Chains A and B, each alone.
Chain A
Amino acid sequence: MATAMGERKGIDFIGIVKEAAITAFVVFVLALPISGLRTTAEIGGLGVHARWDKVAMYMAIAFVGRIIWSLFLETRGRHRRESSESSIGKHVQKYAHFVGPALIVFAVVLPFMPFADRYILDVSIMVLTYVMLGWGLNIVVGLAGLLDLGYVAFYAVGAYSYALLALNFDLSFWVCLPMAGMFAATFGMILGFPVLRLRGDYLAIVTLGFGEMIRIILINWYSLTKGPDGLSGVPRPSFFGLPFERNPGEGVESFHGFFGIDYSSVHRIIFLYYLILILALITNAFTMRIRKLPVGRAWEALREDETACLSLGINPRNTKLTAFALGAMFGGFAGSFFATRQGFISPESFTFIESAIILMVVVLGGQGSQIGVVLAAVVIIGVPELFRELQEYRMLVFGAAMVLIMIWRPKGLLAFREPTLRLFEVKKSGLFGRKQASEAAE
C-alpha cells in the first residue's frame, strides 16, 4: 500500500482534458450525420432536419464521461485484478450450497407472496423461460464451447411443433411436449451434422444463417404455418385434463369446479408459472448431472483443446452433436411452453435478436455458470420489464451492455468452474482460504 502511494505521480489534468477533447471530437464526427441531421419525410420527398442540440449533448456527455473515466482509472492506479476468475463468482459459488436451494424455495413460494400480482407473475414466467433457454444454450456454448447464434431456430421448431400437433391432431400438451423436444433435437442433429466441425466464428455465422433460414421458411410455407399471420388458438395446457376455463363446455369438469374453488384467471397463470419452473429445474438438474458424466467432461475438454481430444480418441463430431442436440431439445421444450402460454405464435417471435438475448443471458452470467444464468435472466429480462417506458432504448442499452460487459469481464459475471470430481474433499472455505493466503504472501 505504501509503495503504491509513493509511486503515484500527480494527476495529469492537461492530459486528461486533452484526451477528453479528442473523445468529444470523435463523438462529434460520429454524431454529426446520424444524430445531427435527421431525415424526415416531407411532401415531395425527404427533408433534413438539423438537431445541433443533440450533437452538443452527446459531445458534452462524452467529454465529461471521459474525464470521469480517466480520473477513475488514475485513482484505481495499477491495482487491476489479473485473476482469470471473477471474484464475485468465487464468492457466489462458495455459497452456492445454499444460494441455489434458497432461490428455489423463493421461486416455489413466490405465487403466494402478497406482492405477487398477475403482472409480477407474468414477468416471472418470462424470466423463467429465459432461464430455461439460457440453461439449454449453456450446454452448447458454456460447456461445449460451440457458439450458436441460431438457438432461436430450435425454440421456433419446438413452438411450431407443439402448435401444429395440438391444432391438427388434438393432442394434449403432455404428449406434444416430448415430441416437440424430439423434433427440435432431430433438427439440431440435422443442422449440426454438416457444420459442427467448423471453427468458432464460422460456426457462429452458419448457425445464424440457419436461424434465419428457419424463419424464412416459416414465413413462406403458408399452407403449413399460415406464414406471417401466425398460428392462433393454440390450445392452453390443462391441469391433468382439467381445463382452466370458466365454462369449459358440456361434460367437461374445470379446474375450479373440481377443486371446488371460485374461478380466477390467475389460476392458469400460477399453473404456467409452476410448469416453467419445473421445466427449468429439470433442465438444470440434467445439466448438473451430465456434466459429471464422460460425455459432459468431453464437452468441456473439446472446448479447451480439440486437438488434444483427438489424441485421446474422443470422437469430436459425435460429442459436439450430442451437445447440440440436447441443447436443441431444451430449446424445443421451452418453445412448446412459449406456444401454450401465448396461445398465438408467428415468425416475428423468432428473430435473430431473440437468439442474441439468449446468448447474452449465458454470456453475461458467465459461461458454464448455472446461477449466473439466473442472475443474468433477471437483469436482462426482468429489469427492462419494470422500466417499460424506456422500451425503445432497450435494445440500444442491451447492445452497449454486451460490449461493456465483455470488456469488463470477458468471462462473464460469475465465471467460476468447480471441478466435476475431486481427489481430496475440501472444507467449505478451505480452498479459498488457502488461495487467499498464498496470494497475500506473494
Chain B
Amino acid sequence: MMSAMAIETGRNPTLLEVEHLTMRFGGLVAIDDVSFSAKDREITAIIGPNGAGKTTVFNCLTGFYKPSVGRLALSHPRKGEFLLERMEGFTIPQKADVARTFQNVRLFPAMSVLENLIIAQHNKLMRASGFTIGGLLGLGTYRRAERDAVDLAKYWLDRMGLTDRADNEAGSLPYGDQRKLEIARAMCMQPVLLCLDEPAAGLNPRESEDLNQQLLYIRDEHKIGILLIEHDMSVVMTISDHIVVLDYGRKISDGSPEQVRNDPTVIRAYLGEEEDGELPPDVEQDLIDDARRQET
C-alpha cells in the first residue's frame, strides 16, 4: 500500500520548485544553475560527492544564504506560494513552514529534551501568550496553548522513543538520540517541507533502519514533503521517491532511484572516468565511505 503510493508520483502536486539556483562566494561558484523540483508527500534525496554543494542548497532554501541567482518557489498547500529567495532568514521557517536539521546536530544542549520541542513551537506560543503580556498576566489561552504544545511534544517523544528522557538535558543524550530529537524538534514546527541534512550520519545500521521507517511514516502519515541529503546509499535507495545528483555544484542527474542508479554520469562522478557499468552496491558504498573519511 505504502509503496504503491510512492510509485505513483504523478499524483502529488509540486511542493518546491528550484529554478536556476546559483550561489557564489566571492569567486567560488558553489552552486551553478541548478534546477529541480520536489513533490508534496514524497522524499526527494539530494546526493553527490563531498563539496558538491548539497548543504549550500539547503542553506539557500532555509534562508541562511541569499542565493546569487535563482528562484525558489514553495507552494504551501494552505498558505499559497512563497518565494523563499526573497524572505529574510528566520521568516522562512516562521511563515513558509520549512523546517530543517543540521549536518552536525544543533540542539539547545543545556535545556531539557521537552523544552527543545516546546521552543520549536515558539511562534505559535508567542501568539497565544499575547506576545508575553497575556502570559505574564496568566491568561487561560496561554495555559491551554502550552498544554497543547506539550501534547504535540509528547506525541513526537513517543514516536522517537524519547519519552523517558523528556526531562533530561538534551546535551546528555547519546548521539543517535540527539539526531532523533532534532528531527522531532523540526516536526514540532508542523512543517510542510522537512529538510534533513545527513540524518543517518553516525548511526549504526539498526538505528539507520529505524530512521528509514520514521521518514516513511512522516511522509505517509503527516503528508509532507521531505528533502534529504544523505550519503548512506542504503537509506537513499530504499526510501527516496526521487533523487537529484549534484557534482561540483551542477546537477548531473535527476530521476527515480532506478534511473539514477543506472545513469553513467552518476557512476563516473562517484567512481571516476574509467568505470563503466555498475559496481556491486557494497563496493560502491565502501568507496563512498572512504572518500568521506578522507574529507572529514
Contacts and interface: CB of A to CB of B under 8 A. Distances in A.
Interface of A: 286, 289-290, 293-295, 297-298, 300-301, 304-305, 307-316, 322, 417, 419-424, 426, 431
Given A293-B132, A294-B129, A315-B94, A308 B189 contact: no
A298 B119 contact: yes
22 contacts: A286-B136, A289-B136, A294-B125, A297-B115, A297-B118, A298-B119, A298-B122, A298-B126, A301-B108, A301-B122, A304-B109, A305-B109, A308-B106, A312-B99, A313-B91, A316-B90, A322-B132, A417-B111, A419-B114, A419-B115, A421-B114, A423-B163
A421 B157 CA distance: 15
Contacts of B90: 309-310, 313-316
B166 A423 contact: yes
Given A313-B90, A313-B91, A297 B122 contact: yes
B107 interface: yes
Nearest to A420: B115
B135 interface: yes
Given A421-B114, A421-B115, 17 more contacts: A293-B129, A293-B132, A295-B131, A295-B132, A297-B111, A305-B107, A305-B109, A307-B64, A309-B119, A310-B89, A311-B106, A311-B186, A313-B122, A422-B112, A423-B114, A423-B150, A423-B167
B154 interface: yes
Contacts, number: 119
B62 interface: yes
Residue picked from A289, A297, A312, A423, most chain B C-beta under 10 Å: A312
Given A311-B62, A315-B90, A305 B167 contact: no
B69 to A, nearest CB: 23
B106 A305 contact: yes
A422 B146 CA distance: 12
Residue picked from B109, B126, B163, most chain A C-beta under 10 Å: B126
B108 A304 contact: yes
Contacts of B109: 304-305
A44 B223 CA distance: 90
B242 to A, nearest CB: 24
A294 B135 CA distance: 9
B167 A311 contact: no
A419 B122 contact: no
Given A297-B115, A305-B107, A419-B115, A312 B93 contact: yes
B259 interface: no
Contact of A290 (B89, B94, B95, B136): B136
B37 to A, nearest CB: 22
Pairs of residues from A and B, 8 with the lowest C-beta to C-beta distance, nearest first? A313-B94, A313-B93, A304-B108, A423-B166, A419-B112, A308-B106, A294-B125, A293-B135
Contacts of B125: 294
Interface residues of B, number: 45
Contacts of B93: 310-313
B179 interface: no
A293 B163 CA distance: 23
A311 B126 CA distance: 16
B53 interface: no
B120 interface: yes
Contacts of B219: none
A55 B14 CA distance: 79
A419 B167 contact: yes
Contacts of B123: 313-314
B33 to A, nearest CB: 26
Contacts of A304: 107-111
Given A308-B102, A312-B122, A293 B136 contact: yes
B250 interface: no
B204 to A, nearest CB: 22
Contacts of A294: 122, 125-126, 129, 132, 135
A322 B92 CA distance: 22
A340 B209 CA distance: 68
Interface in B211-264: none
A316 B146 CA distance: 21
Contacts of A315: 90, 94
B63 interface: yes
Interface string B150-194: 100010010000010011000000000000000001100100000
A419 B114 CA distance: 9
Contacts of B154: 423
A322 B126 CA distance: 13
B136 to A, nearest CB: 6
B54 interface: no
Interface string B61-86: 01110000000000000000000000
B185 A312 contact: yes
A423 B123 CA distance: 21
Residue picked from B91, B108, B154, B186, most chain A C-beta under 10 Å: B108
Contact of B120 (A289, A305, A312): A312
A307 B106 contact: yes
B39 interface: no
B188 to A, nearest CB: 9
A396 B119 CA distance: 43
A316 B142 CA distance: 22
A268 B284 CA distance: 84
Nearest to B166: A423
A295 B135 CA distance: 10
B100 interface: yes
Nearest to B134: A293
A310 B189 CA distance: 13
Contacts of A297: 111, 115, 118-119, 122
A298 B91 CA distance: 15
B250 to A, nearest CB: 27
